[in-house]
Amino acid sequence: MNEIQVRKELVHTLEEWGVNDLSKKHHADFRSRVLREGVAQFRKTSRSATFEHLRHERFPKDYEEAIRHFMTCELESAEEIFRYSCIDRLDDVYDVPSFAPYFRVYSRSDPTKVFGYRIRPAFSSIPKSRLDPFVRFRFRFSGLKVSESIWQHWFLGSDAAALGMIFEAILASHAIHNEACFECKSRNSLRWNGGWESSWMDLVCTFCNSTCEIKTKASMEKCETVFEHSNLRGGLYANYWKHRNAIRDKHQKMFLVILPREWTLGRNGKRIRPVSCVEIDSVSPELVPSCFLPEQLPPGLNPKQREQYENLSIRGRVVLKASTKAKWFDLEKWEPPIDYGIIMEELFIARYSRKEFDRIETMFCGSEDEDESGDCIVNDQTQTQEQPESTVSQKEALLEKLKDAESVENWEDRSDCSV
């Protein structure tokens, strides 16, 4: 990919969000900002793209220990993750997904050429003015404490996100202790590279420095869809190019590893989960709702949070080298502990305290004998539309809203966030 192609991709993603009315100042300004920052992120580079320093890192062999280790890493890195939540104002009225309303149409004679843009059926009856992302999205600078934001994510988030975390941990544990590197076939060279800055390189080889981004999908069919389309949404665009531009050795490759969360029958009749590996060819820029954060920053941010707000969080759309797809290994059937919620609760309490757990639970869900929900952090307009006499449904609605409002983008690759 070169800079001309990057610019073209940035224009396409702007068009898909309908940011194309240059007579409007906010559209014109945003367009220049996206082109300027997108190209700058593509040029970024880090000092080193090697992983020898991880050679002595240990990752638990026991699956339950691996899950605990993984979750503990998430707890510890949470401080840098949480920023805000994004509210899609169309969602309440039209029940649409948080996608861009338009999609590209390719020329029939040349499938590499974009012919134009068309509106997705789900958005076709909505007035154009409401589709404008600057009107459509609202951001809640909730000022939640780290413990509150992780509680919200862990205990009000989707099962898919929690299961994604669990299966990623067991895949890593199995690969590190039993498998050779997919690229160089070295044994005992794979290491876990957890933490917030590690998107695109969850698992790395300390011998050839190749990296693997792990994704779990609900089923085999969903995995196949990824390969069919040869692309899916990944981590931050800037992080990918920072690493990619630092690579000097042509044998150092970046892979995507995919695991279905559902088991299937293997050839020998055993229940397995087949793990596939495919080389990442390139990563294109893609705008997501969080890119439309207002430029005016909320007060009281620390320098790290400031930096997160100020950088346009363009996401990377992974383009795969379909011909390199191959099975890496089979993960034997193993079921996640049914009580993983208890493990999460235990780890949360160990990191904070029981008192803090209970306090946050009351804050989000209210206590049993309280007749009003603990809705202190929700202040969007939609709440006033709820019927005061229906306390139970009010609570349920609040919980639903919290789930919706929680942006998976804030949680990088922990969630199954591809579309």
Binding region for Zn ion (CB under 5 A): 181, 183-184, 186, 205, 207-208, 210
The smaller minimum CB distance to Zn ion, of residues 9 and 183, is found at 183
**Least separation in angstroms between CB 44 and Zn ion:** 25
**149 exposure class (CB count in 10 Å sphere: 0-12, 13-18, 19+):** buried
**Least separation in angstroms between CB 40 and Zn ion:** 31
Q: In the structure encoding, which two tokens stand for residue 371, read together?
A: 């007749």
The smaller minimum CB distance to Zn ion, of residues 204 and 344, is found at 204
In the numeric block, the tokens 């309908």 are attached to 18
**Between 391-405 and 354-365, two packed helices, what is the crossing angle to 10 degrees?**
110
The smaller minimum CB distance to Zn ion, of residues 160 and 180, is found at 180
The smaller minimum CB distance to Zn ion, of residues 252 and 415, is found at 252
**Least separation in angstroms between CB 204 and Zn ion:** 9
The smaller minimum CB distance to Zn ion, of residues 160 and 184, is found at 184
The smaller minimum CB distance to Zn ion, of residues 148 and 183, is found at 183
**Least separation in angstroms between CB 293 and Zn ion:** 39
**Least separation in angstroms between CB 316 and Zn ion:** 23
The smaller minimum CB distance to Zn ion, of residues 49 and 166, is found at 49
The smaller minimum CB distance to Zn ion, of residues 186 and 264, is found at 186
Question: Could you give phi then psi for residue 108, rounded to 5 degrees?
Answer: -70, -40
**Least separation in angstroms between CB 224 and Zn ion:** 27
**Least separation in angstroms between CB 355 and Zn ion:** 47
Q: Tell me how far CA of residue 192 lies from CA of 12, 100, 168, in angstroms.
A: 35, 34, 11
How far apart CA 350 and CA 72 sit, in angstroms, is 10
Contacts of 115 (CB under 8 A, 6+ apart): 105, 106, 107, 108
Which DSSP state fits 197? Answer: G
**143 exposure class (CB count in 10 Å sphere: 0-12, 13-18, 19+):** exposed
In the numeric block, the tokens 């510890």 are attached to 76
Helix (H, G, I), strand (E, B) or coil at 176: helix
Q: Which of 383, 377, 355 is nearest to 364 (CA)?
A: 377
Size (the chain), residues: 419
Neighbours of 158 (CB within 10 A): 14
**Least separation in angstroms between CB 277 and Zn ion:** 12
Q: What type of residue is 248?
A: R
How far apart CA 350 and CA 174 sit, in angstroms, is 26
As a three-state string, the secondary structure of 25-62 is: HHHHHHHHHHHHHHHHHHHCCCCCCCCHHHCCCCCCCC
**Least separation in angstroms between CB 170 and Zn ion:** 21
**Least separation in angstroms between CB 405 and Zn ion:** 41
Which DSSP state fits 112? Answer: T
Contacts of 222 (CB under 8 A, 6+ apart): 260
How far apart CA 217 and CA 317 sit, in angstroms, is 16
**Least separation in angstroms between CB 53 and Zn ion:** 16
The smaller minimum CB distance to Zn ion, of residues 179 and 406, is found at 179
The smaller minimum CB distance to Zn ion, of residues 205 and 278, is found at 205
The smaller minimum CB distance to Zn ion, of residues 113 and 187, is found at 187
How far apart CA 199 and CA 327 sit, in angstroms, is 22
Spatial contact of 255 and 212, defined as CB atoms under 8 Å apart = yes
